[in-house]
Amino acid sequence: MVKQKWKHSVDHTSRIVTNIIDRDKINKPRRRRVKLKAVPRKGEIYWCDYPPPECLHLPEFWKRRPVVILSRNATLRGIVMVVPMTSQEQSDPYLSVQIQSPINSEIVWVICNHITTVAVSRLLPVKGRPVVSRDIYQDILREVLNNLANA
């Protein structure tokens, strides 16, 4: 079903003319190409292209950074919930989970109070398709839920 907006105008003979404007063509962003070959699964780590600095409001995350997938039922054309990772030490242990990165074995923090829903087209594969362990995933999920409960 096409969403439509009705616009009324008066022509030169004072009759009301009704024009149909297709809302789907007004300022609708284009769909981006998906760069993944497989559906993202919970606990997997991907690179995420967050919006560029000129499109965000601090303290939102920006630039390309690793994320942990939270969603259970993702599709290649849909959206996923993610939490970002950072190499900057976090002072509040209730807002993050410290882990050893499956990408490069460095110590990183999963920022559990920055849950984000992104299009799958923002994700890029990480070589080897790394995944966090079940225990670490449960720790991340626990902190995410604690942050939601205390928001």
Model confidence at 24, pLDDT cuts 50, 70, 90, reads low
β-bridge mates for residue 103, sequence order: none
Domain range for residue 110?
29-149
Query: 98-126: b or e for each residue (b if 16 or more CB lie within 10 Å)?
Result: ebebbeeeeebbbbbbbebebbbbbbebb
Structural domain includes residue 108? yes
Name the more confident of 26 and 90: 90
Return the closest-CA partner of residue 40 out of 76, 94, 77: 76
Return the closest-CA partner of residue 120 out of 67, 57, 62, 63: 67
**How many structural domains comprise the chain?**
1
Structural domain includes residue 83? yes
pLDDT in tens, 74-113: 888 899 999 999 999 998 888 999 999 999 999 999 999 9
Structural domain includes residue 65? yes
Query: Model's pTM, two decimal places?
Result: 0.77
Query: What's the CATH number where 48 sits?
Result: 2.30.30.110
pLDDT at 25: 57
